[in-house]
Structure 1
Amino acid sequence: MRSKTVTRTFINEISPHIDMPINKLALVRYKTIDSCLQNRFRKWTLEDLMEACSDALYEYEGMTKGISRRTIQLDIQNMRSEKLGYNAPIIVTDKKFYSYEDKGYSITNSPLTQQDLGTLVEVLDVLKQFKGFGYFQELTGMVTRLEDKLYTHQHKGKSYIDFEKNELLKGLQHIDLLHKAIINKKTVDILYQSFKAASAQNITFYPYLLKEYRNRWFILGCNKRTKATMILALDRIEQFKELRSEKYMKPDFDVATYFDDVIGVSKMPNQEPQLIVCKISKEHAPYIITKPIHASQQIIRGEKDGTVFSIHVIWNFELERELLGFGEQLQVLAPRRIQGKLRARMKRAVAAYESEKKE
């Protein structure tokens, strides 16, 4: 899903330079009709679809002019045809109610058309020109994903790359709208249910940055009521809406570097990074050397039985989990307080296993 989102965003950005087959307003209508017809708990007349499309165009584009009956009829005709590659199985029952014959159908699940493939090939050619530049290293993974996707569709064969993904992850539907809120500097009202809270709460929130960590997405921003910087997990957001009348407050810190001294996303206000010195066994040292735990990692010295290295980061739960993941192969040498915390956690883990053995 993420690669599709990135692709759509990039194509939208370069659309003035590409002869796109569908205009933006039509896409909004198609998406709205698609969402309506997926809703099997309601019967949709042509008038209902006209009203839904008018509401969507007002919400996204600020358009107050209504949609004509003829426009929606042409949209349905286009969605049914091969022109757009949708071939949508739209049927009419009782001569007035529209629905999908296939309950699981959606235009978002339709395969890429030859025109889509041609456009993506052009986009890939552009992206490949930047792959070698340091500032565009983050494009490398996206280009590889697109190349693999194109190969799969063009050759009707298997994909030979298996990217890390989590198909059951919640909250991904919020990414696009939150991204727009950040770009347009809009305040939002978020209904948020944390793991620790007994019930969901409404938060008036100024969004600043979307952050991904281990296939989970988070939003960095500020709570209007407490004025505190917060990091919210998208999978805990039940719903949110834009507060058009609420003034947006800009961040008083550098958002781009906020996570530079952190592994993961947990960070308390005014928390300072510290130098953590570790020793990794000789057997596992190559894993640390070839894939540093953090950008601040420095190799201090090599020893007969392992390698001593340091990282300069904030101590948090994610870092503890990262270091404990190496088990007996890694030892924290300093600071002693952190060494003691990890030792205590390991003792509790051993005690839990010993207790289970006795039972």
Structure 2
Amino acid sequence: MHPSERLREINSLLLQKSFQVNYASISAYLSEQFDIANYAERSFSRDIKDLKELLQIRYPQLHDTAGELIKFSRAQNRFYLIRDDISAFPSISDKELSQIASTIEQNKHLFSGGAGEGLVNKLRAIALENSMARNHDMLAWSAIELVKDGERSGADLIPIILENIHAKKVVLFSHRGLSAQSKLKQTRGIPLMLKEYNNGWYTGWYVLFQAIEKDTTHIKIELEKLQLYALDRIVSVSSIQEQPRVRIHPEFRPADYFKNCLGLFRSNSQKAMNISCRMEKDSWMLNYIEKYPIHASQQISRENESSVLVQLTLEIDQEVENFFLRFAQEIRVIEPEKLAQAIKNGLEKGILNYC
């Protein structure tokens, strides 16, 4: 093992609070993980010294005020970093960041709504911060703050659901509603797709599936029969013994379930409708939606010298109404009349809240 690789390993162990970094533990670790049987205590002392020097180079201002950035606790018999947010090396090298970005680029089908590009931008931000840390004093605050998605409730169910999607197997979902008083229910279904979605309050995972009756022996997968569950409402996913025979058309695509939605949830009885809107040519929103369409069905045409028409084909639901209410100052719904009236009623109700 090259000395620089050994330093990275020790640095990584220092970042793990559960690992007691001292000569005995590092020697045992190197012997077990890398078959290094002759690691001397003198070499360990030199490695700790080198790590201290690297930290001083990366964080000179912090070193000037706090002294050595790796200290030894006699009571605990361990070396430790004086702060949790420092490291002798970037946690991910620039080369590794580049490799991850390339992998994301090659797997765009796993991302929607520009999420892949957003993740690449985060990786670039990490690389930039690493570069700044090498060339400038450490700031007392974070120079970049990205969107914090928070903990993904239900994410622990993803492996078993994904396995059954690939195996095309029916499972038993145990789930309950959002209310604390909701009773536990069970539904048999064949999972077909996992979808990530930001609903404005939090970002979560959802599973798209087709419900199956208990004694069914043959299944024909159909888009109109699909349902959606939030993973944070699912308590468990378990296998069943008797597996029915599954028929899936070669051109079937679960994602088509969402093709006429502005958001995520939909009613199977709801039909997509043509929505016609008017927007002034000098609206800031026009430039925005030309680059980032409201929906894939969007079409923009000239109405006159001062305005344009925006055409959309969508299932009209609460999410669609909320969108037009949010941007009512910039875009006006002309047709259908029922949607235009719903927007008007919503605006009037909002005004009453301020009277």
How high is the TM-score relative to the length of structure 1? Answer: 0.57
Give the 5 Å matches for 1:52-67: none
How much has 1:118 moved relative to structure 2? 7.6
**Does the alignment pair 1:243 with 2:240?**
yes
Matches within 5 A, 1:39-54: none
CA-atom RMSD, angstroms? 4.3
Among 71, 92, 99, the alignment partner of 1:123 is 99
C-alpha distance in structure 1 between counterparts of 2:152 and 2:287, whole Å = 32
For residue 88 of structure 1, the aligned residue among 19, 24, 31 is 19
1:170-189 mapped onto 2 (5 Å cutoff):
170-189=153-172
Aligned pairs, number: 257
Answer whether contact 1:208 1:251 (CA < 8 A) is retained: no
User: What secondary structure does 1:341 align onto?
Assistant: helix
2:332 maps to 331
Task: Give the superposition deviation at 1:293.
Answer: 0.8
1:164 to 2:147 alignment: yes
1:218 aligns with 2:206: yes
Tell me the equivalent position of 1:321: 322
Task: State whether residues 127 and 139 of structure 1, in contact with CA within 8 Å, keep that contact through their aligned partners in structure 2.
Answer: no
Percentage of identical aligned residues: 20
1:277 aligns with 2:292: no
Q: Which moved more, 1:274-283 or 1:137-146?
A: 137-146
- 1:254 matched residue in structure 2: 253
CA contact (8 A) 2:152 2:205 kept: no
Check whether the contact 2:161–2:237 (CA below 8 A) recurs between aligned residues. no
Deviation at 1:264, TM superposition (A): 1.1
2:202 is the alignment partner of 1:202: no
Quick one: which of 144, 147, 160 aligns to 2:124?
147
The answer (yes or no) to whether the contact 1:206–1:224 under 8 Å persists in 2 is: yes
AA at the equivalent of 1:123: Q
Residue aligning to 1:307 = 308
Letter in 1 for 2:208: L
Q: Tell me, what secondary structure is at the counterpart of 2:277?
A: strand
* CA deviation after TM superposition for structure 1 residue 270, in Å: 5.1
How far the C-alpha of 1:185 sits from its partner, in A, is 2.1
Q: Aligned AA for 2:339?
A: I
Secondary structure of 1:183 counterpart:
helix
Partner Cα distance (1:347, 1:152) in 2: 48
Please, which runs of 5 or more residues in structure 2 have no aligned partner?
Answer: 1-8, 22-84, 134-139, 215-223
Deviation track 1:135-193 (CA, whole Å, cap 9, x = no partner) reads: 99874333333333355467659876544332154223333332232123232222222
Which amino acid counterpart does residue 229 of structure 2 have in structure 1?
L
1:332 CA displacement: 0.7
Q: Which amino acid is 2:232 matched to?
A: D
CA spacing shift, 1:174–1:321, aligned 2, 3 Å:
farther
Shift of 1:212: 2.0
- TM-superposed deviation, 1:209: 0.9
CA distance in 2, matches of 1:115, 1:222: 42
CA distance in 2, matches of 1:272, 1:162: 41
- Asked if the contact 2:101/2:123 (under 8 Å) is kept, the reply is no
Residue type of the alignment partner of 1:188: V
- Aligned-residue offset at 1:298: 0.7
- Higher mean Cα deviation, 159-168 or 213-222? 159-168
Question: Quick one: distance in 2 between partners of 1:129 and 1:201?
Answer: 40
Q: Which runs of 5+ in 1 are unaligned?
A: 1-77, 91-108, 355-359
What code does the residue aligned with 1:218 have? Y
Amino acid at match of 1:221: F
Q: 1:151 to 1:328 in 2, by over 3 A?
A: closer
Over 3 Å counting, the alpha-carbon distance change for 1:308 and 1:187 in structure 2 is: same
Aligned-pair distance for 1:206? 1.1
Cα distance per residue 1:88-128 (max 9 Å; x no partner): 359xxxxxxxxxxxxxxxxxx9x998796487246247448
CA distance in structure 2 between the partners assigned to 1:289 and 1:120 by the alignment: 35
Q: Is the 8 A contact 2:160 2:237 kept in 1?
A: no
Q: Specify the SS of the correspondent of 2:228.
A: strand
CA distance in 2, matches of 1:171, 1:217: 7
Q: Work out the CA distance in 2 between the residues paired with 1:347 and 1:330.
A: 17
Would the alpha carbon gap of residues 113 and 237 (structure 1) be closer, same or farther in structure 2, given more than 3 Å must change? Answer: farther
